[in-house]
Amino acid sequence: MIKTADTKAKPTWQSQAGAVLSRAGLLLGVIILFALLAAVAPNFTQPRNLFNVLRAVAINGMIACAMTFIIISGDIDVSVGGAVAWSSALLGVLAIKQHWPLPLAVLFVLLLGVVIHAGAGSLRVKWGIPAFVVSLAMMMAYKGLAKVITQAYPITPFPDSFSYWGQGYVFKVIPVPAVLMVITFAIFYFLSTRTVFGRSVYSVGGNEEASRLSGIPVGRTRLMVFAISGLMAALGGIITSSRIMAGSHSVGEGLEFDVIAAVVIGGTSLMGGSGSMIGTFLGVIFIGLLNNGMVLMGVDPYWQEVARGLIVLAAVLISAIQKPIRK
């Protein structure tokens, strides 16, 4: 019998304690940020504003779930913003210009998102092209195609009933996108902690060669991760279309940076192999509160970008200084 290499060292009590402290520290950071904004930002604590924060971060949160898998596996996907724009534009063309039944158009957009991203994953797996390069090319192609098929104009109108998924409320209080985000995080948490696939993602990101020697289908795992990213980006484009009631080429601009920022702030290592959905959820909330607070305080948009950039840089530096946390 051939002895295979261990794909991941068993977590020690030190690493487990470190993971708990890291998430506790981020939770404390969210609480402190909330308290500061409540004190200085006008109307920040109004229920309407807080629910608007949840609605605003919902799409980023859903895509961040897939991005967490991507980064844990040792890759990165900067094409998600372009994929959101492409999906929104394509849905508008199919449902409004081509008069497809809306459910069929939605299903087609979701499936195409999976197929295109899986194709990008195959370039990474079969040809060894770095994921950053592949996804950067995809981002430009997505944005260009979205402008081509819409002729750089929004496509309207969708049926009024479609607005429920982007503008509606559950129990007349909770925004529907926020509910969808929570459900998505619950599903991805289960996948990452309770399934063979989730363990494979961590293993591939931690030590690809050892994973291959242990019989883990490294290529298939990477393809699935990219396909999931395509699915969530397409879903984000659909919900965005529902929110603005148009198919638009201009949505999703800069979304990839907020998503990656949330994942990194949540403690996922850019080196791969470590991270958690709980951390990503807290990172999404942190970024959402920060963005909302700066808007309420009238901070110049350019300085908002500077602030987010510095926070991400700080999170990366902390991650580099600390010993990588293994689940």
Condensed to tens digits (0 to 9), the pLDDT of residues 227-253 reads: 999 999 999 999 999 999 999 999 988
pLDDT per residue over 285-323, tens digit each?
999 999 999 998 888 888 888 888 888 787 777 666 654
Specify the DSSP element, H or E, that contains 169: strand 169-170
pLDDT for res 19: 56
- pLDDT tens figures, 128-165: 899 999 999 999 999 999 999 999 899 999 999 999 99
Asked whether residue 15 carries a pLDDT value surpassing 60, the answer given is no
**Mean per-residue pLDDT, 75-91:** 95
Report the greatest alpha carbon distance in the chain.
68
Q: What is the DSSP string of 179-231?
A: HHHHHHHHHHHHHHHHSHHHHHHHHHHH-HHHHHHTT--HHHHHHHHHHHHHH
HSE (side-chain half, CA atoms, 13 Å) at 109: 31
Q: What is the pTM of this model?
A: 0.89
The pLDDT value given to residue 322: 57
Residue 227: predicted pLDDT: 96
pLDDT in tens, 94-129: 999 999 999 999 999 999 999 999 999 999 998 989
Structural domains in the chain, sorted by start = 44-321 (1.10.3470)
Mean pLDDT, to the nearest integer, of 188-217?
Answer: 93
Give pLDDT, residue 134: 94
Binning pLDDT at 50, 70 and 90, where does residue 2 land? very low
